[in-house]
């Protein structure tokens, strides 16, 4: 513990006894968080409340990329406390979520609205933000959408075609995943983790398994680490490929759109080569992986990834070489650096603003302790930047997988994992394809989870989309939305 600042310092996927987490009075708790977030490139990874007898214990996980550590602090509250949001906007959505779940009122919160439930403030209908003016009009989209996307409501305040403000309302499904994890782990827990966000099955199941391995002091084999790393990067490549094609489709650029749609399927099939499922279901298990990879499969995967990468390079290069595409991408949907920092934006959108926020670099675990993928960044913060960073990440992930396939060690792929340590806490971060996933597990005196908190990167980044749309043409919303490509279900936990 850092005695000076009363912070518990831990590494990613390090388990410690719960009684080591400092308990500060609420004023010191607030001041410490505000001070820490203003240092270096620190940011809030997770902020949540846990019922504890007649009180509630607030926890904050503050990421310190410069020192490669996570800081944890806590404080007890009953029914209210002074909101941090005015001085630390990163927690605005976390505080709304805590109020919604437990009725703990953050006094002075400037935007205390529901996250997933009815309006708890005054029992009235949800009051959307309104811009006054005779020529202002509203455009309401959703929550029911055409096609197969999940429910979400977008309310635009516009003057003509210009967007003044976008308000995003999500959480229509009330999935209850976090509550279902109380009393686990059990036989169903791994399957639940794979459904947090279906396109991020590998990312979330890896975060969960690392957490359990930390709490049980289990070290997995190098061979299992390699297979996990290959699967995680294949998931990244497949999703980025699909997004580049979808961005092309949103502006009617059919060559890249049609090719990327097919090539995405090729990369998904490579994941199926590992485990029989295109989304990596049932591949990652506690203490290892479920499926080994033979030498013939390694050779097959080498050939397939090289062939698909070459095809993808030809398809994506058309984007950067076509003026009509660049005219739509460049300077559209810009997210400036100050908003990126204030909102705690993570993952690809942050790297598209020039910030080196990447768990693989800053908080490495598993295979990333042995191999480092170069961090892909660009600094213009617009749709072009978010598209180009996707391409850079594909390039780096392909090289990474090829290197792992050349050097994969022999050994077992799984082992028996013991019981989780009782009355302990661990934080597991994974750089999934959208950005940082954060799982926090707290065990009871029987080694079962008495609290489990999940933060998908979309929880941080939806606010970034809303800000990026300000002063843009409403016709550019589908394109800007796809450039972030955030998860609805990953938000609704």
Q: What is the pLDDT of residue 147?
A: 74
Question: Residue 150's pLDDT is what?
Answer: 87
Is 70 exceeded by the pLDDT of residue 88?
yes
Q: Tell me the per-residue pLDDT of 376-385, one tens digit each, with 9 for 90 and over.
A: 999 999 999 9
Asked whether residue 118 carries a pLDDT value surpassing 90, the answer given is no
Q: What Å distances lie between residue 487 and 69, 78, 251, 317, 481, CA to CA? A: 27, 33, 22, 27, 11
Q: What is the mean pLDDT of the chain?
A: 94
What does the pLDDT read at residue 440? 98
Please write the tens of the pLDDT for every residue from 28-79: 999 999 999 999 889 999 999 999 989 999 999 999 999 999 999 999 999 9
Using the CB atoms, write b or e for 30-58: b if 16+ within 10 Å: bebbeebbeeeebbbbbbbbbeeeeebbb
What is the pLDDT averaged over residues 156-166?
95
Report, as an integer, the average pLDDT of 333-355: 96
Instruction: Give mean pLDDT, residues 252-270.
Output: 95
| C-alpha span between 215 and 419 (Å, rounded) | 8
Average pLDDT of the segment spanning 142-147: 82
Residue 211 pLDDT > 90: yes
**Any idea what the Cα angle at residue 302 is, between residues 300 and 306, rounded to 5°?**
120
pLDDT at residue 114 is higher than 50: yes
CA angle at 147 for the pair 143 and 153, rounded to the nearest 5° = 15
Instruction: Give me the percent of the chain exceeding a pLDDT of 90.
Output: 89
263-277 tens-digit pLDDT: 999 999 999 999 999
Res 142: pLDDT: 85
CA distances from 136 to 132, 418, 472 (A): 7, 61, 15
Residue 119 confidence class, pLDDT cut points 50, 70, 90: low
Residue 5 has pLDDT above 60, yes or no: no
- Residue 128 has what pLDDT? 84
Total residue count of the chain as it appears in this document: 493
Place of tokens 């926090």: 440
| pTM for the whole structure | 0.95
At residue 3, the pLDDT reads 46
Closest CA to 210 of 280, 288, 292: 288
pLDDT digits (tens, 9 = 90+) for 212-241: 999 999 999 999 999 999 999 999 999 999
Residue 279 to residue 287: CA distance in whole angstroms: 20
pLDDT tens for 463-475 read 999 999 999 999 9
- 315, pLDDT greater than 50: yes
Residue 15 has pLDDT above 80, yes or no: yes
Angle at 196 between CA 413 and CA 206, to 5 degrees: 25
Separation between Cα atoms, residue 25 and residue 34, nearest integer Å: 14
User: Is 489 in contact with 193 (CB distance < 8 Å)?
Assistant: no
Identify the structural domains of the chain with CATH numbers, from first to last.
8-107 (3.30.460.80), 178-458 (1.10.645.10)
Tokens of 202: 């590998």
Distance separating alpha carbons of residues 232 and 397, to the nearest angstrom: 9
Residue 45: name the closest of 337, 468, 347 by CA.
347
Percent of the chain surpassing pLDDT 70: 97
pLDDT of 120: 58
Residue 116 scores a pLDDT above 70: yes
Q: Who wins on pLDDT, 226 or 118?
A: 226
* Angle CA 194–196–201, to nearest 5: 35
Task: Residue 17: count other Cβ atoms within 10 Å of its Cβ.
Answer: 11
pLDDT given at position 121: 58
- Beta strand 55-64 with 80-82 is unpaired
Per-residue pLDDT averaged across 287-291, rounded?
97
């Amino acid at each position: 513990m850092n005695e000076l600042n009363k912070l518990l310092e831990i590494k990613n996927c390090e388990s410690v006894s719960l009684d080591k987490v400092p308990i500060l009075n609420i004023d010191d708790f607030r001041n410490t968080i505000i001070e820490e977030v203003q240092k270096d490139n620190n940011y809030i990874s997770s902020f949540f409340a846990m019922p504890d007898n007649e009180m509630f214990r607030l926890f904050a996980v503050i990421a310190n990329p410069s020192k490669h550590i996570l800081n944890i602090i806590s404080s007890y509250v009953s029914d209210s406390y002074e909101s941090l949001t005015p001085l630390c906007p990163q927690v605005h959505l976390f505080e709304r979520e805590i109020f919604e779940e437990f009725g703990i009122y953050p006094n002075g919160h400037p935007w205390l609205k529901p996250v997933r439930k009815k309006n708890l403030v005054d029992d009235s209908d949800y009051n959307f933000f309104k811009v006054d003016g005779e020529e202002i009009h509203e455009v309401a989209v959703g929550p029911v959408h055409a096609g197969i996307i999940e429910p979400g409501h977008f309310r635009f305040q516009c003057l003509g075609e210009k967007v003044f403000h976008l308000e995003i309302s999500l959480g229509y499904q009330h999935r209850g995943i976090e509550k279902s994890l109380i009393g686990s782990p059990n036989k169903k827990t791994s399957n639940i983790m794979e459904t947090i966000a279906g396109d991020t099955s590998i990312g979330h199941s890896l975060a969960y398994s690392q957490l359990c391995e930390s709490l049980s002091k289990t070290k997995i084999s190098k061979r299992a680490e390699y297979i996990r790393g290959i699967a995680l990067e294949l998931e990244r490549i497949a999703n980025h490929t699909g997004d580049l094609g979808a961005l092309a489709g949103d502006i009617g650029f059919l060559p890249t759109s049609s090719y990327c749609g097919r090539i995405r399927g090729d990369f998904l099939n490579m994941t199926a080569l590992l485990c029989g499922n295109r989304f990596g279901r049932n591949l990652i298990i506690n203490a290892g992986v479920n499926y080994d990879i033979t030498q013939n499969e390694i050779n097959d995967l080498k050939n397939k990834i090289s062939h698909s990468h070459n095809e993808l390079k030809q398809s994506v290069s058309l984007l950067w070489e076509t003026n009509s595409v660049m005219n739509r991408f460049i300077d559209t949907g810009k997210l400036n650096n100050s908003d990126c920092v204030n909102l705690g934006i993570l993952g690809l959108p942050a790297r598209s603003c020039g910030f080196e926020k990447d768990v693989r670099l800053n908080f490495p675990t598993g295979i990333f302790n042995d191999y480092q993928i170069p961090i892909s960044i660009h600094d213009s913060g617009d749709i072009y930047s978010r598209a180009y960073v996707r391409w850079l990440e594909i390039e780096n992930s392909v090289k990474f997988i090829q290197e792992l396939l050349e050097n994969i060690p022999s050994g077992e792929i799984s082992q028996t994992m013991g019981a989780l340590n009782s009355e302990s806490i661990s934080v597991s971060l994974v750089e999934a394809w959208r950005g940082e996933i954060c799982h926090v597990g707290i065990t009871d005196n029987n080694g079962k989870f008495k609290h489990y908190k999940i933060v998908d990167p979309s929880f941080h980044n939806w606010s970034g989309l809303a800000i990026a749309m300000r002063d843009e043409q409403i016709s550019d919303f589908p394109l800007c939305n796809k450039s972030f490509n955030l998860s609805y279900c990953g938000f609704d936990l």
